[in-house]
Amino acid sequence: MDAVVAAPRALLGRTIVGPASVRIRDGRIVEVTTGEAPPGAEVLSDGLLTPGLVDVQVNGAVGVDFAEVDADSMRFVAEALPSTGVTRFLPTLITAPVDVVLRQARAVLAASAALPDGVGARPLGVHLEGPFLSPKRAGVHDPSFMIEPGPDQISALLEDDTLRRALRMVTLAPEQPGGLEAVRRLVEAGVLVAVGHSDATGEQTRAAADAGARMVTHLFNAQRPLGHREPGVPGVALVDERFTLGLIADLAHVGPDVCRLVFNAAGERVALVTDAVAAAGMPPGRYHLGGADVLLTEEGVPRSPEGTIAGSALTLDRAVRNIVSVGVPMADALASATIVPAEVIGESGLGRLAPGAVADLVWWDDNLRPKKVWVDGQVVFDAEVRTTPVSAGYATAGQ
């Protein structure tokens, strides 16, 4: 039997319209109409209806580090994320030796496969952020584990039976020896390649796009900076329309004025990401990223013991609110967390309210906080009946 959800306002494409109704059948949207709600609809009294949010860079959350995940902890993350509006996410693994990365990826995929139907947000595969990065732009990644993306190393990823179909995204430094050939091989295998943790010049960044790279991982962070003569990675990314720009909008990784600048220059190509670590949704304490310690203080930004920023404690709904707060129109901010990330990873059935799309929905209140969330047409979060706050976490802070 069909279900119909009607809202006073809805995000259709990149435009907020209303009133509008969404008809759901067997977990998919079969019809979207504007105007008066049809008989039998669930009528939302206020707020805004949008597609579910899609996070393509998340290392962990609520006390869970994806480098150390199992079925129970993956379920805990999946159940927690809808409270932040996220319905689909791409577990991300940071730099480690290739054999370790493969073991971690298999564990992520096994834990993802073990999720029961109807439980929380759904994983989309795996994103490898390393080890083919530049030690010159290591950030919190361990440079001793970084290697050149030679043919044997890329084959180890592409010929692994478990990983082959689930490897959705690889972040690499294209200026490294073998980098452009690695981009071509990965793209030919259907993997999204992103430029990140890279000291590439503008010319080398453009060459990566020529080879098939289509995203920049956390724009401005851990990459050769923008200069007025040498544009570096961000300069080319902002003007080359082939690139989608991943942006960590916690207003600490990238300041408010620069976030606004990015949207002014290339707003239709921005994909908001969290780069969240296990500290996201948790109180101050000691957590893990890639198995290494990170510290979350009252400041709210996770750091290594040496003080280097180590991912974020951001949630994607807060990223949307942050971007709206710097003056970006609400529809543009929401599109950057829905349709843009869905499209860049080739998921045309996600991130939109349209016939044929997956029935992932978020009902927001007037302060842009999620009130109710559907995944595959089933309610997975309802703020009125929720009893366990995200901040309760999977593990006690400091463990």
Beta-carbon contacts of residue 227 (< 8 Å; ≥ 6 apart): 235
Q: Which position among 55, 65, 240, 275 bears the catalytic label?
A: 275
Q: Coil, helix or strand for 283? A: coil
- Phi-psi category of 302—alpha, beta or left, where left has phi over 0 and alpha has psi -120 to 50? beta
**Cα separation, 225 vs 202, whole angstroms:** 10
Q: Is 250 one of the annotated active-site residues of the chain?
A: no
Is 218 known to sit in a ligand binding site? yes
End-to-end alpha-carbon separation of the chain, Å?
47
Is 232 known to sit in a ligand binding site? no
Burial class from Cβ neighbours inside 10 Å (0-12, 13-18, 19+) for residue 158 reads: middle
> Is-contact 312 92, C-beta < 8 A?
no
Query: Dihedral sign, CA of 350, 356, 360, 361?
Result: positive
Is 310 known to sit in a ligand binding site? yes
Please report, to the nearest 10 degrees, the dihedral formed by the alpha carbons of residues 316, 318, 324, 325 taken in order: -150
Residues found in the chain = 399
Is 178 known to sit in a ligand binding site? no
Is 266 known to sit in a ligand binding site? no
Is 129 known to sit in a ligand binding site? yes
Is 292 known to sit in a ligand binding site? no
Is 94 known to sit in a ligand binding site? no
Is 221 known to sit in a ligand binding site? yes
Is 127 known to sit in a ligand binding site? no
Is 96 known to sit in a ligand binding site? no
Annotated binding-site positions for Zn(2+): 129, 197, 218
Annotated binding-site positions for substrate: 140, 221-222, 229, 253, 309-311
Residues with active-site annotation: 275
